[in-house]
């Protein structure tokens, strides 16, 4: 299928934000448990900031994806927000963002405070890893939905 015009531009921008926003957020979260266990406070501080900012930035990815769904009415096939793959992607995005911002980032920040106070942060590594891992599974599931488009 060849994409043209505004739809093609939106698709390229959407995919770029996946690569350059979702990717760094996911990787920073997944690398953080190792930083916490090894006591690498500077690396953990950077990972926490990257995780938080880039995860919030994924809203741009969602907005571009929503624009793609809206623009699909001008081409065949036509998708809408009620399609299983679209609705499921929104739910999974919300779950991933909530996990990262409510579990992973606070645990990363607590680990930074523990390390700065001269204490170990190993006990926080499983929470960071589990939250980041489940969020990563959400991101992967979103990609699967985007590719397979079940119900479309």
How many domains is the chain built from?
1
Give dist(CA 82, CA 133) in Å, integer.
28
Contact 25, 50 (CB under 8 A): yes
What are 40-90's pLDDT values in tens digits? 999 999 999 999 999 999 999 999 999 998 888 766 567 788 889 999 999
Distance of CA 3 to the CA centre of its chain: 25
Domain that holds residue 15: 5-148
What are 76-117's pLDDT values in tens digits? 567 788 889 999 999 999 999 999 999 999 999 999 999 999
More confident residue, 15 or 152: 15
């Amino acid at each position: 299928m060849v994409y043209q015009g505004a739809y093609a531009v939106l698709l390229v921008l959407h995919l770029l934000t996946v690569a350059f926003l979702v990717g760094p957020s996911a990787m920073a979260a997944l690398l953080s448990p190792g930083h916490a266990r090894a006591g690498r406070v500077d690396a953990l501080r950077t990972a926490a900031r990257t995780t938080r900012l880039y995860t919030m930035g994924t809203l741009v990815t969602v907005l571009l994806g929503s624009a793609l769904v809206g623009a699909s009415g001008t081409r065949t096939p036509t998708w809408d927000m009620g399609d299983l793959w679209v609705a499921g992607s929104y739910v999974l995005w919300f779950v991933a963002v909530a996990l990262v911002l409510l579990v992973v980032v606070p645990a990363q920040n607590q680990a930074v405070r523990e390390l700065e106070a001269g204490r170990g942060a190993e006990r926080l590594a499983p929470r960071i890893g589990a939250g980041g891992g489940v969020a990563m599974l959400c991101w992967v599931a979103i990609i699967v939905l985007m590719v397979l488009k079940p119900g479309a």
